[in-house]
Amino acid sequence: MSLAFLVPLFLLGIAGVVVPIIVHLTRRQRRNVVHFPSLMFLEKIPYQEQRRRRIQHWFLLSLRALALALVVAAFARPFFDQASGAALGSGGPREIVVLLDRSYSMEIDDQIEQARMEAERILTDLGPLDRASLVTFSRGADVIVRSTSDRSRLRGALDTVTVGSGATRYGPALKVAQTILEESTLALGEVYLLSDFQRNGWTGDEGVNLPPGSSLLPIEIGSEHEPDNLMVADVSLPRQIVAGRERITPTARIVRQGGSAPTTASVSLELDGREIQTREVTLTPNSAQPVQFQPFTLSQPHTTGTVRLDDQSLGADNSHHFVVSPGSSLGVLVVNGVRGSNDPSLYLRGALEISDDGRFDVRSRRSATVRPADLDGAAAVFVNDVQLDGGSAERLRTFVEDGGGLLIAVGQEGGWPASAADMLPGTIGPIEDRLQGRGGTLGYLDYAHPVFEVFSGPRSGDFTGARFYRARAFVPADSASVIARFDDGSVALAELRVGRGRVLLWTTSLDAFWNDLALQPVYLPFVHRLAEYLGGRTEALPWFVTGQVVDLADPDALETAGLVSSEAAGIAEGLDQIALSPTGNNVTLQAGDGPRYLPLEEHGFYTVRQPGTDPERPFVIAVNVDLDESNLGRVEPDELALQIEAPTVVDDGSPRLSQAVELQREDQERRQSLWRWLLVAALAVFILETAISNWVSRREAGAARAVVG
């Protein structure tokens, strides 16, 4: 340990010590100037130079010099260099990043505690000039402490680390480490990865490139053994309308990974926190079994349910949470003309009425006029093969602008009053026949559109079997979008946004006169999707997965999350919200114009309400763990390290290394802060000098008066 100076150049100021001496000796005192004709006589007088050139108060002069020296030393910022030599001898200070896995698989065999002990050991081995960061990670990465040499702060942060609910993802954590190392001024970097190294967390294309001079040091926590884990992989919640009430029959799928012998587990169903049923299931190694529970009647909104499995290995995947609410039917008005005995809406109405859960409330009107009363409770209107009058068209315009949905199927009789032509997504032309061969087909479907999105997957609905023999010519407007075309390029389905609602135009018929689509299996889901899209219905999700985020200010997102009504959740515009996490943490979401994101980081039930309220049926969001984490297969740590090993760097006296050492010196100086004490000492010396010099002056003045007297 030696005394060093951070800014030694300031020591040149020590030369200022001679200033008071020079001033004293060279008689450069400031005094009044008297202009005199000639100094001829004065210069001849042997003046008492010796008196000025003799220092009379050595002690005072020493005090002044000492004070000045202390000030100069303070500006030079001294410090005790405790370990610079040692640090340089071992290759220089290091930037250490400890990545600690807190995914829920770390709860097995208390691996999180083992990881914490390993991290503690790493912190203990830190050199005096080393800096360390603590980063915990699961699906994402959180920097708990960033690049510090404060050991106590690091240890304090380490004690707060607990197991989370997320799945393991190495990419974000390694990216964070890469960023810390790139921003570091230290030449050497070490990344300690403390994890159980689940294979699912590493895809190999994370694109991590540690900077030169840094290395990844994987530390495997726990030991690899044959996994034997049971989990609730999925729960299906089919609904039925029985006697006007909804009944749900939950079916859980239990999966066993690993194992060597058949095992029996107990599976229970809880509703609103009370256990309703229990089933026994026997599973052979690496197998799956469905467990069906007795149906229950759904009467209350936001009913919470949990399928719980009795298993000792990994707890987080042994329960599966869900939230269900009674569904509400969508009001659909079908308007069609009177064409003899033929009913052009026979197939349409039949398709809408076929559903187990009664999702559509279908009303029919055979008239060319739509009355205001007809639109009460309707969310979607199908105008099928009828020429409406102008008044009806205007009523429908108001209906659409207020958020309703309208589908116009022009058929043989269909048409639209010219007074409301701007509502249409284009101009309707004459009838065009496709009588050659087997007729036309649908050649283009916009699968990105919500209507066709569900048919985008393989075996999800085949529109190619339908034949179209006749359709209306249609010229789309510039503001309209075409979402389906026939194989000859003519428009089959076009859309126009009007106000808050939407208008779809189907250029052929919805019955079996002009095409045979109504006879195809895809007709029913197609009509259902049309009605749901027009009515703005969003399918509620019974549960989310950890890591997802819900915007509580977005009505669509809330509807997706299963919110039945804003009153039920206590949610109103302009008021704050409080979300209570499964572990009891309160998250306050400030009211405002922007989004209110609620990150779902824990598995269980999040309760959302207004501050100070306690609704009987609060808005609840169910969150389950990501089951990727339940796959306990491991990746070889060295194999992972080899894929992201950084190029090494040698100490060639590079400016970066010297700069790093300089920064460490600055850090030491800042911690010791000797300059403060030096300034205090200088101040004390100045005060002492002032007091003594005043005393000496008074004493000498008194002596002089005595001589004069």
Partner 1 sequence: MATTRARHSAAGAQFLDPAVLGRISNLELLARTVVDGFLTGLHRSPYLGFSMDFAEHRPYMPGDDIRRIDWKLYARTDRHYIKLFEADTNANFSILLDLSTSMSYGSHSLTKLDYARYLAACLAYFSNKQRDRVGLVTFDHEVVDYVPPSMKHLDTILHTLDQVTAGRPGSLAEPMLRITEMLGRKGILVVISDFYEEPDEVLRALAPLRARGHDVIVFHVMDPFELEFPFEEASGFEDLETGEQIPVIPGKLRSDYLAMVKAHLASLEKCFADNQIDYRLLDTSQPLDEALFQYLLSRERASKAR
Binding site residues, partner 1, CB under 8 A: 27, 29, 31-45, 47-48
And the tokens for 409? Answer: 């199927």
The phi and psi torsions of 694 (rounded to 5 degrees) equal -65, -40
Q: Which is nearer to partner 1, 32 or 124 (CB)?
A: 32
Closest contact distance (angstroms) between CB of 56 and partner 1 is 16
Q: Write the DSSP symbol of residue 582.
A: T
Q: Round the CA-based radius of gyration of the chain to a whole number and report it.
A: 42
Side-chain-side CA neighbours of residue 7 (13 Å): 10
Side-chain-side CA neighbours of residue 96 (13 Å): 29
Q: How many CB atoms lie within 10 A of CB 291?
A: 21
Q: Which is nearer to partner 1, 2 or 29 (CB)?
A: 29
E strands, 448-548, where? 470-476, 481-486, 491-498, 501-506, 544-545
In sequence order, what are the residues at sequence separation of 6 or more whose Cβ sits closer than 8 angstroms to the Cβ of residue 257? 227, 228, 229, 230, 231, 286, 630, 631, 632
Closest contact distance (angstroms) between CB of 45 and partner 1 is 5
> Any long-range contacts for 690-696 (C-beta under 8 Å, 24+ apart)?
692/59, 692/60, 692/63, 693/57, 693/60, 696/57, 696/60
Nearest of 358, 355, 363 to residue 380 by alpha carbon: 363
Alpha-carbon distance of 31 to 129, in angstroms, equals 56
Q: Which is nearer to partner 1, 46 or 89 (CB)?
A: 46
Alpha-carbon distance of 110 to 427, in angstroms, equals 70
Closest contact distance (angstroms) between CB of 43 and partner 1 is 7
Closest contact distance (angstroms) between CB of 68 and partner 1 is 25
Which residue stretches of 455-522 are H helix? none
Q: Which is nearer to partner 1, 38 or 436 (CB)?
A: 38
Kindly list the strands in the beta sheet with 481-486, ordered across the sheet, starting from the edge strand earlier in the chain: 360-366, 330-336, 380-384, 405-409, 501-506, 491-498, 481-486, 442-445
Query: Which uninterrupted H or E stretch holds 530?
Result: helix 523-535
Closest contact distance (angstroms) between CB of 22 and partner 1 is 16
The phi and psi torsions of 319 (rounded to 5 degrees) equal -130, 145
Q: Which is nearer to partner 1, 39 or 418 (CB)?
A: 39
Closest contact distance (angstroms) between CB of 670 and partner 1 is 49
Q: Which is nearer to partner 1, 24 or 256 (CB)?
A: 24
Closest contact distance (angstroms) between CB of 79 and partner 1 is 46
Q: Which is nearer to partner 1, 519 or 704 (CB)?
A: 704
In sequence order, what are the residues at sequence separation of 6 or more whose Cβ sits closer than 8 angstroms to the Cβ of residue 502? 400, 405, 406, 495, 496, 533, 534
Q: Which is nearer to partner 1, 32 or 50 (CB)?
A: 32
Q: Which is nearer to partner 1, 1 or 45 (CB)?
A: 45
Q: Which is nearer to partner 1, 42 or 418 (CB)?
A: 42
Cβ proximity of 558 and 571 under 8 Å = yes
Closest contact distance (angstroms) between CB of 704 and partner 1 is 11
Closest contact distance (angstroms) between CB of 695 and partner 1 is 22
Closest contact distance (angstroms) between CB of 690 and partner 1 is 23
Nearest of 331, 345, 454, 355 to residue 403 by alpha carbon: 331
Side-chain-side CA neighbours of residue 430 (13 Å): 2
Closest contact distance (angstroms) between CB of 48 and partner 1 is 7
And the tokens for 263? Answer: 């095992």
Q: Which is nearer to partner 1, 459 or 705 (CB)?
A: 705
Angle between helices 523-535 and 346-353 (to 10 degrees): 80
Length reported for the chain: 709
Closest contact distance (angstroms) between CB of 47 and partner 1 is 7
Q: Which is nearer to partner 1, 27 or 121 (CB)?
A: 27
Closest contact distance (angstroms) between CB of 694 and partner 1 is 20
Q: Which is nearer to partner 1, 34 or 261 (CB)?
A: 34
Closest contact distance (angstroms) between CB of 36 and partner 1 is 5
Cβ proximity of 102 and 137 under 8 Å = yes
Q: Which is nearer to partner 1, 43 or 205 (CB)?
A: 43
Cβ proximity of 475 and 492 under 8 Å = no
Q: Which is nearer to partner 1, 33 or 243 (CB)?
A: 33
Nearest of 529, 402, 394, 395 to residue 460 by alpha carbon: 529
And the tokens for 585? Answer: 């943490």
Closest contact distance (angstroms) between CB of 709 and partner 1 is 15
E strands, 367-512, where? 380-384, 405-409, 426-433, 442-445, 470-476, 481-486, 491-498, 501-506
Alpha-carbon distance of 285 to 258, in angstroms, equals 5
The phi and psi torsions of 121 (rounded to 5 degrees) equal -65, -40
